[in-house]
């Protein structure tokens, strides 16, 4: 069934209950591909759904009584949103495509769609009758073609990927969930930001400022993944402001892998030092952990401590892989430390610190030792934990 958001504005998207990996992002709660219809004298569909889910879209359009479309607004050409554009064009051949110049090229390159397009830019308006849509370009939040659609009279913001999360549910609105469920939803929103949007934080801040500058007031935020915000809008906006500015909690994340448990034993020794300072922390073995959750904790923590043995003169593969993943997302304003066991060379720790330097982390210390740490080594590791706990409390 379709869902009414405001009079004559409907959710007509698709629910993907069973997806568990979204281009490497672990989606244990599934996701939704949200599509919206604004109905007036003219009818506009804003975004489509992932290819393979168009039957859900068409069924909900039919349930809403929509048998024709005048406009198809494409906020973003990525496959989970524009994958069904061709199917919509086939079903509604007279529909007018509406998007920006960069997205027009993307539709041609990704889908071979060369239909005439109405090009819009920030501030442009599209009248549907009594309802008006206006647009804000949001390049690099999170692709160059991204933009936001705003239903002016109804104060509904359709921001595509911004403010989204991967969460499948039969409930559509934030105020339909319990307090416990909302705790999980806010964490999934943080996970979404950390693993998709974090690298574009400067652009996010510019867009947030632009929305305020344009005076766009909204009482509904309807993103392209997950739930629709109408009750907790101040909370999700505040979180976006915090995440995009690098605000983090007074806690530390310890990330490691180990060959013969020497580096693992060291990780728990570091934790003992943190415990002495009564500071919050989490420990992740990368062989057993979901990298997307680890990355979420990196974003939410002021301190990052990474441990790796040396293998063939390099960082241990799982640790190196995660650090490459983390580096691509460009977390910032972190205090960091590195540790690791080795047999005869010991390059891993230094190479981890080099990655910290590339990210402009504040490296407060490092520790390495041959095979199993002796009493002095254990003391150094515990002290590393203490120093990190003290450091983040002064940030």
203 a catalytic residue: no
Determine the distance from the C-alpha atom of residue 97 to the mean position of all C-alpha atoms in its chain, rounded to a whole number.
27
76 a catalytic residue: yes
268 DSSP β-pair partners:
none
Which of 71, 192, 193, 342 is catalytic? The answer is 192
CA 204/CA 185 separation, integer angstroms: 20
Spatial contact of 40 and 131, defined as CB atoms under 8 Å apart: yes
Q: Prior bond to 33 cis, omega within 30?
A: no
Q: Which two tokens stand for residue 3?
A: 């869902």
342 a catalytic residue: no
10 a catalytic residue: no
Angle of the 317-329 helix axis to the 291-300 helix axis, nearest 10:
50
Which residues 6+ apart lie within 8 Å of 93 measured at CB? none
Which of 142, 145, 200, 297 is catalytic? The answer is 142
Q: What is the DSSP letter of 173?
A: B
192 a catalytic residue: yes
Spatial contact of 67 and 44, defined as CB atoms under 8 Å apart: no
80 a catalytic residue: yes
Query: Does an H or E element contain 199, and which?
Result: none
Which of 8, 47, 70, 161 is catalytic? The answer is 161
Which of 76, 81, 166, 262 is catalytic? The answer is 76
Which of 39, 80, 297, 380 is catalytic? The answer is 80
188 a catalytic residue: no
Q: Which two tokens stand for residue 394?
A: 């002064």
Spatial contact of 380 and 352, defined as CB atoms under 8 Å apart: no
Which of 16, 40, 78, 264 is catalytic? The answer is 78
15 DSSP β-pair partners:
32
78 a catalytic residue: yes
Per DSSP, which regions of 114-248 are E strands?
117-119, 125-127, 132-137, 147-151, 156-158, 220-221
| Composition of the chain by helix, strand, coil, percent to 5 | 40, 25, 35
So which residues are the catalytic ones? 23, 76, 78, 80, 142, 161, 192, 225
């Amino acid at each position: 069934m379709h869902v009414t958001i405001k009079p004559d504005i409907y959710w007509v998207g698709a629910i993907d209950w069973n997806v568990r990996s979204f281009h490497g992002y672990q989606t244990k709660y599934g996701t939704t591909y949200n599509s919206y219809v604004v109905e007036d004298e003219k009818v506009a569909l804003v975004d489509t759904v992932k290819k393979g889910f168009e039957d859900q879209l068409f069924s909900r359009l039919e349930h809403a009584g929509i048998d024709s479309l005048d406009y198809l607004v494409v906020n973003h050409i990525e496959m989970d949103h524009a994958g069904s554009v061709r199917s919509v064009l086939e079903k509604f051949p007279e529909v007018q495509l509406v998007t920006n110049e960069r997205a027009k090229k993307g539709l041609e390159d990704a889908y071979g769609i060369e239909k005439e397009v109405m090009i819009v830019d920030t501030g442009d308006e599209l009248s549907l009758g009594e309802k008006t849509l206006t647009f804000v370009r949001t390049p690099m939040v999170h692709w160059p073609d991204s933009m936001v659609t705003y239903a002016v009279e109804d104060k509904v913001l359709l921001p595509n990927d911004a403010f989204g999360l991967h969460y499948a549910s039969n409930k559509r609105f934030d105020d339909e969930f319990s307090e416990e469920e909302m705790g999980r939803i806010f964490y999934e929103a943080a996970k979404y930001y950390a693993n998709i949007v974090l690298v574009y934080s400067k652009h996010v801040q510019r867009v947030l400022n632009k929305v305020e500058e344009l005076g766009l007031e909204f009482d509904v935020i309807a993103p392209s993944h997950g739930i629709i915000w109408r009750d907790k809008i101040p909370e999700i906006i505040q979180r976006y402001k915090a995440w995009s500015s690098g605000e983090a909690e007074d806690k530390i994340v310890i990330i490691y892998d180990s060959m013969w448990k020497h580096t693992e034993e060291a990780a728990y020794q570091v934790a003992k030092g943190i415990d002495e300072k009564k500071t919050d922390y989490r420990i992740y073995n990368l062989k057993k952990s979901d990298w997307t959750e680890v990355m979420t904790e990196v974003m939410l923590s002021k301190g990052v401590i990474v441990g790796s043995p040396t293998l063939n003169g390099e960082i241990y593969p799982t640790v190196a892989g995660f650090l490459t993943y983390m580096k691509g997302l460009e977390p910032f304003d972190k205090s960091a430390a590195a540790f690791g066991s080795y047999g005869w060379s010991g390059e891993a720790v230094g190479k981890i610190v080099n990655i910290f330097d590339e990210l402009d982390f504040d490296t407060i210390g490092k520790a390495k030792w041959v095979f199993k740490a002796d009493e002095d080594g254990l003391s150094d590791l515990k002290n590393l934990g203490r120093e990190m706990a003290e450091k983040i409390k002064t940030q």
